[in-house]
Amino acid sequence: MKILVFLVLLGLHSAAAGIHSLKYIITVSSQVPNFPEFVIVAMLDDVQIYHYDSNTRRLEPKQDWMNRVIEDDPQFWESHTARGLGYHQLFKDYIETLKQRFNQTGGIHVFQWVGGCEWDHETGEVNGFRQVGYDGEDFLSWDVKTNTWIAPKQQAVITKNSWNNDKAQLAYYKHTINQELPYWLKMLMNYGRSSLMRTELPSVSLLQKTPSSPVSCFATGFYPDRAEIFWRKDGEELHEDVELGEILPNHDGSFQMSVELDLSSVTPEDWRRYECVFHLSGVKDNIITKLDKTAIQTNWSKTGDGRDGGSSGFPLVAVIGGVVVLLLLVVGITGYFLWKKNKKGKEGFKPASTSDSSSENSQQINLKT
């Protein structure tokens, strides 16, 4: 489906220890089959905590501990549901404006707004972010230091000028970054601390598809996703003949990742010099796996006449299962655009009216989350 081209697989990353984030992702789409026209997702430390879409028209908790938030503060759920209902039409109008501006009459189109804040609980520093994308490309970004919008495309200049002239809205952005968003982030962290702050070490295996394939060091079942895995030789990390894979989610909320090592130019005598290292943020000791031919799991075996035979235990189910779950999660939470790679999003969004007027009568969105 074309929409998947615009979505990065969960946007998982290895955040620095001590830094927590609260992100809100709003997506409105046009003519996408079997997909809600409007979706809101809230992410705490890159874990989905609730979801709203135009099909169900209600907020749905995605973590067990979010039920305690609802019980303690019923207005939280009611007010956020009401916002979802109100924002739907505003964002729908905005995507129609963009279609006109880009001279588009039909087809699949996706508009996405990402925003929130990061909080370093060790230093107390708070940073906010807001970013807008259209059809998989940057449309607008917000510079938190100058409190101004930046337009990377000519079609966005009208909106950029309109929003930068709205001083009241810009002042509101600063208020949400300094006050409201940090409050919600800290409150939600208190509720979800036991789940979000836990650490789980993985099982680590050596895998090889065929005798001539690279050897993969595969770690699965770890939490959180702030982890790294690498090969080293004689105690030195390798950067050549290695290929690092993405961190992927498992069905139980844990994660998996792998790193491949090409041994085509390595003699059997030198295998003992290699080892795989897995490091989980917040955990002192690493998991070290020596490169041992007898420990490698494969999906091939030798028949009696020396030909390659059938499977001997390569855990394809874990890998395939992770990919399937990943794709389901991508569709379920709408993910991030490819334009977000290595960028910060920007919280808060005010779609312009069809004329992009900055007058007091212009419609605007204030995400007081």
User: Could you give the CA distance from residue 218 to residue 236 in angstroms, rounded to a whole number?
Assistant: 20
Q: Where in the chain are all domains bearing CATH 2.60.40.10?
A: 203-329
**Cβ atoms 60, 66 nearer than 8 A:** no
* pLDDT tens digits for range 165-192: 999 989 988 888 888 899 999 999 999 9
DSSP H stretches of helix in 176-315: 181-196
Q: Model confidence at 79, in pLDDT bands (50, 70, 90)? A: confident
Residue 2: what pLDDT? Answer: 36
* pLDDT tens digits for range 312-358: 444 444 444 444 444 444 444 344 443 444 444 433 333 333 333 33
Q: Is the pLDDT assigned to residue 38 strictly greater than 70?
A: yes
User: Could you give the CA distance from residue 252 to residue 310 in angstroms, rounded to a whole number?
Assistant: 30
DSSP 147: T
Block residue for tokens 């919280």: 347
Q: Is the pLDDT assigned to residue 95 strictly greater than 60?
A: yes
**Cβ atoms 312, 99 nearer than 8 A:** no
Mean pLDDT for the chain overall: 79
Q: What is the CATH number of domain 2-195?
A: 3.30.500.10
Residue 19: what pLDDT? Answer: 84
Q: Cα–Cα distances in Å, from 313 out to 116, 297, 318? A: 44, 6, 12
Mean pLDDT calculated for residue range 262-278: 94
Mean pLDDT calculated for residue range 361-367: 37
CATH number of 203-329, picked from 2.60.40.10, 2.60.40.1930, 1.20.1740.10, 3.30.470.20: 2.60.40.10
Residue 311: what pLDDT? Answer: 41
**Cβ atoms 55, 38 nearer than 8 A:** no
Q: Where in the chain are all domains bearing CATH 3.30.500.10?
A: 2-195
